[in-house]
A and B are shown apart, each in its own frame.
Chain A
Amino acid sequence: MSSATLEIVEPGLLTTVQDAGRYGYQRFGVPVSGAIDVFALKAANILAGNAQDAAGLEMTVVGPRVRFLADTWIALTGADLGPLLDDRPIPMWESVAVPAGAILSFDGARDGVFGYLAVTGGIDVPVVMGSRSTYVKGAIGGHLGRALMASDSLPTMERDGHPDPTNNRLPDHLGAPRYGNTHEIRVVLGPQDAAFTAEAVQTLLGSEYSVSIQSDRMGYRLEGPVIQHRSGPDLISDGTPLGAVQVPGDGQPIILLSDRGTTGGYAKIATVISSDIGTLGQAMPVDTIRFATVSVEEAHAILREREQVLRDIEKAVRGAAAEAVSIRIDGDAFEAVDDSGRLVSAPAVEGRVESEATRHARVTVDGRTFEFDVEVQRAD
């Protein structure tokens, strides 16, 4: 049982425990929840020496005041909420050593909406339906199913022998993102663009929308030119993907985010690509949004670049250690072991060995994905 590592002195506007989301239970009507800007949370985790899908704190516009009860390391990413450690400014997008007793506070948002705090080891709250994310409306997951309050204390998990995350930073060729106040958001048309007039698609792509003050983790409401349906907004209720641009009867789009309901009955003209969900989430009320359309294949290429950025950060952080994992083939199964021979992944089959060949293998270990070219030789 781990002891408390941090204590909330003041909670800020809306501070919740989030990870990469709760998948597998949408069929029971359980929303995915999870960080709005998953990329930023994953980057924070890597910098703090954690698995990418560890739980951290998502902070909204007004950051919390947090007292640390043990020596640890942290990494801050996402929105710049003005972080201070014992009243002195500290950098974001790199690991910072924090002594027991230190106070983390924030002196005001400068850029973006959702800031992320990763603490080495990861926030340790119970795993509910496979995730530590908080779904506040349903009182599910996180810390007691709710937003953090003053005097809550949170444990972190043991670091499990990983090296200390000292001086972890972005590789030289990567800069910290600037979110700004004008956001170009890429969408794939559909699933129900056919329910709209041809002009409606032109309106969506050719106009500027502003983010409404009535936006939250469930969805971002936009204000701008009306988007016309062909024959009404209602369809037979179906699944609601992340980033769906649904258009109710008033013609003002709503983009569905982490806390969205799992199903809905409004037609969805387009869907924001996964790589741009974080950017959209960092848009403040009254910020300007412009849409551009890409194909599914283009969106996949953009996502691959995005994943490469995370891999580059891992490589910079882990240095040679990232290269020291080897693959062993046992029948059809690949097992990943580290250089001391310790098994670090359960067997995962990604392909069958049919002949001697060089195969590309992919193994996910503690949320980190490794890709290899493997020389396959038959054992006999």
Chain B
Amino acid sequence: MAGTKLPVVQTAGLCKTFKDFWRRPRVDAVKDLSMEIHAGEVFGLLGPNGSGKTTTIKMLLGLLYPTHGRISLFGKPPTDVSVKARIGFLPEESYLYRFLSARETLDFFGRLFRLPKKIREDRTTRLLDMVGLSHEADRPVGEFSKGMARRIGLAQALINDPEFLILDEPTSGLDPIGARQIKDVIRSLGQKGKTILLSSHVLSDVEDVCDNVAILYGGQEQAVGSIDDLLCQQNVTQITMPTISDKTIREVKDLILRLEKTNADVTHPRHKLEDFFLQIVSQAQATEVKTSGARAGGEVPEFLKTATTTVMVDLVGSLVAAGTTPEPLVVSAMPKISKKKSDSTSGVLNELLGKEPVEDDAPDEPSASLNSDAPVAPTKPTIAADSQVIDSLLQGENKESDDTASSEPNA
């Protein structure tokens, strides 16, 4: 909870070595992992397959015991029953009882949290509505598709209105609607001040919702920091604006070439495929096409919402709004922008926007370029990056950026 001084999660020198039948060490799944997750953070645990993400989560939940090292959740060991009352967990697969219906499943887990009957029933109804399975509430979960089962898995993770939510590959097996919905729920819970640990190798999911990430590889932490710090390309500038005429574009490019001695790419940005897909589905839903599968989810239940922020997860509404917004124009210029040059850059921008230059009194900040050999000033959270690993992990993302930015290699 916000205001708690202790980190929600704290690990120190955490190791997990899997042993063979003869107790001989076989695989070091996690090696010397020390991390902290503070209240209110949406923390992403990233890494390729077999990097130790799930093993770390299982140790946090007390499903595996560490070989060495220490874990504390809310200042207590993970096996402490009182800690578990504050946690919600969505595993990588939906491990549900096939013979229970969706409603019975939520009721069963609600009982394990000792929720009073009235609250249990209320939350069950609301969560089923949220995950779009109200109409299938009394069908056995064993008959559900993988995606529908994942939705019930999410609902059971939220039945206790957890302070700390652990989501292991939350969008795995979900259609884009479900994936978006989970991300919306994460955002909503993050706004409420809940702490969330998200493990995924779907980088866009993590990028969309996380404040901070840790990247694991070979069971070791390779990088940790905020998304902005890790992903910001200090050597590329992007200007976004509503559509402008070809003439203005030519003038802008000329201006940039003249002042910065570099070419600029000017393109129209593309929608994400996810947004486009959701738009099509929402149109189909508007025409009431029948389906036995999951429907668009309802709102995030009131008990999961913050008191000050009402987050509507009305996908249709948001998509329609997205569809009517004028497409912005993106101008990208690749060369590394030094502090000295940035003055002239801002002058260009002011010229473009028809404004007077504004004096920037802000102190100079060191570049956080991942490729820079220069020492990086410690910020919070710190960046401790293995550039090769990050490059390999973010290859797809960078590729996309490169496509829209410039064909020039990074400085």
Partners in one complex: no
* Chain B residues close to A by CB (< 8 Å): none
* Chain A residues close to B by CB (< 8 Å): none
